[in-house]
């Protein structure tokens, strides 16, 4: 090695703490291209956007068939309740399963670093090799990673298995927020059927209100997930409109 | 460096092709712990499992309220149509948006390696440093990755942004399979309401058939996604049961 340790005394203090990682150089101006909302606001926006579509389509569909408004409201609320439980409880249980899965995969990977260290070192090497590390630099990098079993297992779990460490508490809150917001989203297309006696004016108002809400929450959902906002708004409206149109035709055909 | 190139002539041929990546050592016996189904079978299983819950809960809920079987079937089919469009079209558009997002993030990362090479090298160093690379080994690893711009950008996109390259064609097929399977899953709880005139026997048969299907497809879905199968079966049944129970109570309370 040319420099097993940095020799220059001036750099010694910095190098001792940063282990050879130099101070961060300047980079692109830190424009915040992502929505700065908290995770909970994000979940509320996603849940509301998702909650709009199916209750809207179901109510529109039933209004094309036999149904009177009280029955449409009953069906809509039953759907909202079912969707809320499926998303909330489903999300919560899925998050707990993921957390257990992560823990058991991590244990297995750690076990493998003990029983088959050469094979696991080779797997580290194979990953780094894909990004251009070769020869002595590759060998040193593998030894450095394998020198600390915790970091070694971290590396394998993240880069071989492509698993991120789950946060179970966060996932539970997220499921509750999405499930709750699904109720709010579902009530938007439904409330016109509660205030009007006739099916036709309720349908017209529901289309207008839900169309605006699909655009607005589609926009916010795209912003919250870092995707192009106008495109998100138009797509969300298109999906809601298509779902409602198809549901209307099906219900008319079956029940009309 | 001790060995800038492997000196031993015996290893020269192998090293020339593998660039210092040795042959793979033996590892754990290659027991196939994952379901070996194709991606399409996986999508069909997931779509069917997801399609069972809400139509089942909606039909059960309505049977607790006013409704006669033809109306339950109409509402159920409208829901299935809406859910199928929402999942199929929604999945398809989301996949296309993801693919564009990936391409634009990749372009931006490449632009940054041209405009701010020192900063982007530092970011590579910061990631590797977390896994134990230090000093000269770290410096060499960063130089090796940054030597090939394509691999450098690959590294940043994968390990900084944590994006995987999407396959747009695959995503479209996946959305079609999930949307189609949602229809099949939704028809399972609904068919008893088509063959019986009375609400009570239809509800009983629907609960029995759907309960068995939730267990079976929950099992298969867990297998297909690499999670514990028995737990997946029980969870899917519990979510479907809870959703149906809540929908039943809501519909009874509102419409009964």
Residues B71, A71 contacting (CB under 8 angstroms)? yes
Give me the helices (H) in A19-167, please: 39-63, 69-115, 117-130, 135-146, 149-155
Task: Give me the pLDDT at residue B161, please.
Answer: 80
CA distances for A144 relative to A148, A157, A193, B151, angstroms: 8, 17, 66, 21
Task: Give me the pLDDT at residue B37, please.
Answer: 55
Reported residue count of chain B is: 256
Average pLDDT, stretch B47-52?
Answer: 84
Q: Take residue B216 and report the two structure tokens written for it.
A: 């079976």
Residues A20, B138 contacting (CB under 8 angstroms)? yes
Angle between helix B168-195 and helix B39-63 axes, rounded to 10 deg: 30
CA atoms of B135 and B109, how far apart (whole Å): 26
Task: Give me the pLDDT at residue A190, please.
Answer: 95
CB contact under 8 Å between B227 and A133, yes or no, is no
Compare A41 and A142 and report the one with higher pLDDT: A142
CB contact under 8 Å between A78 and B97, yes or no, is no
Nearest to A244 by CA among A54, A66, A51: A54
Is pLDDT above 80 for A9?
no
Provide the Cα torsion B231, B235, B237, B243; round to 10°. Answer: 180
- Output the DSSP codes for B135-152: HHHHHHHHHHHHTSHHHH
Task: Give me the pLDDT at residue B166, please.
Answer: 78
Nearest to B166 by CA among B104, B96, B231, B105: B96
End-to-end CA distance of chain B: 83
Confidence band (pLDDT; 50, 70, 90) for B30? low
Predicted model pTM: 0.78
For B58, the closest of A82, A134, A143 (CB atoms) is A82
Q: Average pLDDT of chain B?
A: 83
Residue with tokens 């549901």: A247
Disruptive mutation site among A31, A53, A77, A82 for chain B (greatest number of B CBs within 10 Å): A82
Residue with tokens 């070769």: A134
Residue with tokens 């712990």: B33
Compare A205 and B23 and report the one with higher pLDDT: A205
Task: Give me the pLDDT at residue B230, please.
Answer: 92
Question: What are the tens digits of pLDDT across the range A20-43?
Answer: 677 777 776 654 444 445 777 778
Reported residue count of chain A is: 256
CA atoms of B85 and A249, how far apart (whole Å): 13
**Three-class SS state of A179:** helix
Is pLDDT above 80 for B241?
yes
Question: What are the tens digits of pLDDT across the range A194-215?
Answer: 999 899 999 999 999 999 999 9
Task: Give me the pLDDT at residue B51, please.
Answer: 86
Q: Output DSSP code: residue A225.
A: T
CA atoms of A94 and A86, how far apart (whole Å): 11
Confidence band (pLDDT; 50, 70, 90) for B20? low
- Report the residue of chain A nearest B148, measured CA to CA: A132
CB contact under 8 Å between B119 and A162, yes or no, is no
Residue A227's Cβ-count burial label (10 Å; 0-12, 13-18, 19+) is middle
**Chain A residues touching residue B137 (CB < 8 angstroms):** 137, 140-141, 143-144
Is pLDDT above 70 for B9?
no
């Amino acid at each position: 090695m040319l420099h097993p340790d940095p020799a220059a005394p001036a750099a010694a203090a910095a190098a001792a703490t940063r282990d050879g990682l130099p101070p961060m150089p300047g980079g692109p101006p830190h424009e915040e291209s992502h929505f700065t909302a908290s995770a909970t606001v994000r979940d509320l926006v996603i849940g509301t956007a998702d909650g709009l579509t199916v209750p809207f389509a179901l109510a529109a569909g039933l209004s094309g068939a036999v149904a009177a408004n009280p029955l449409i409201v009953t069906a809509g609320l039953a759907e909202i309740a079912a969707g809320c439980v499926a998303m909330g409880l489903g999300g919560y249980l899925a998050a707990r399963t993921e957390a257990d899965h992560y823990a058991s995969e991590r244990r297995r990977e750690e076990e493998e670093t003990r029983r088959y260290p050469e094979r696991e070192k080779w797997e580290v090497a194979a990953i780094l090799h894909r990004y251009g590390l070769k020869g002595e630099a590759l060998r040193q990098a593998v030894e450095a990673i394998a020198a600390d079993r915790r970091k070694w297992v971290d590396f394998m779990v993240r880069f071989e298995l492509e698993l991120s460490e789950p946060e179970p508490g966060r996932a539970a809150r997220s499921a509750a927020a999405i499930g709750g917001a699904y109720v709010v989203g579902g009530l938007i297309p439904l409330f016109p059927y509660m205030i009007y006696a006739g099916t036709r004016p309720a349908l017209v108002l529901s289309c207008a209100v839900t169309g605006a809400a699909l655009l607005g929450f589609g926009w916010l959902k795209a912003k919250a997930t870092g995707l192009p906002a106008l495109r998100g708004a138009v797509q969300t409206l298109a999906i809601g409109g298509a779902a409602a149109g198809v549901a209307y035709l099906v219900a008319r055909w079956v029940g009309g």
